[in-house]
Amino acid sequence: MLSAAEGILLSIATVQASMGVLGNTFIAIINCMNWAKNKKLSKIGFLLIGLATSRIFIIWILTLDAYAKLFYQSKYLSDLPTEIVSYIWMTVNHLNVWFATSLSIFYFLKIGNFSHCIFLWLKRRTDKVFVILMGCLLISWVISFSFAVKVMKNNKVNHRNRTSETNWKKREFSVNYILINIGIISLLTMTLTACFLLIISLWRHSRQMQSNVSGFRDLNTEVHVKAIKFLTSFIILFILYFIGVSIEIICLFIPENKLLFTFGFTTASVYPCCHSFILIVTNSQLKQALVKVLQGLKFSEKGKYLRATWLWNRNG
Give the separation between CA 137 and CA 94, rounded to whole angstroms: 7
> DSSP secondary structure string, 241-291?
HHHHHHHHHHTTS-TT-HHHHHHHHHHHHHHHHHHHHHHHHH-HHHHHHHH
Are 248 and 261 within 8 A, CB to CB? yes
31 half-sphere exposure, CB direction, 13 A CA radius: 22
Give the count of beta carbons closer than 10 Å to the beta carbon of residue 295.
Answer: 10
| Residue span of the structural domain in which 272 resides | 4-297
**CA separation for the pair 26, 308 (Å, rounded):** 30
- The structural domain count of the chain equals 1
Question: What integer pLDDT is reported at residue 308 of this predicted model?
Answer: 55
Residue 145 belongs to some domain of the structure: yes
The answer to the question of residue 210 being in a domain is yes
240 falls within a domain = yes
Residue 151 lies in a domain: yes
* CATH number of the domain bearing residue 113: 1.20.1070.10
In a domain, 74, yes or no: yes
| Whether the Cβ atoms of residue 70 and residue 261 lie closer than 8 Å to each other | yes
**Do the Cβ atoms of 241 and 274 come closer than 8 Å?**
no
Q: Is residue 306 part of a domain?
A: no
Nearest to 280 by CA among 100, 63, 31: 31
Radius of gyration for the chain, computed over Cα atoms and rounded to the nearest angstrom: 23
Q: 278: closest CA among 315, 239, 232?
A: 232
Q: Is residue 283 part of a domain?
A: yes
Q: What is the pLDDT of residue 77?
A: 54
Coil vs helix vs strand at 129 = helix
pTM of the model: 0.82
Instruction: Give Cα separations from 8 to 14, 18, 59, 64, 262 (angstroms).
Output: 10, 15, 18, 17, 9
- Distance in angstroms (rounded) separating the CA atoms of residues 24 and 183: 24
First to last CA, the chain: 51
Ranges under pLDDT 70 in the chain: 73-82, 151-152, 154-177, 209-224, 297-316
Judge contact between 113 and 205, C-beta under 8 A: yes
Kindly state whether residue 139 falls inside one of the protein's structural domains.
Answer: yes
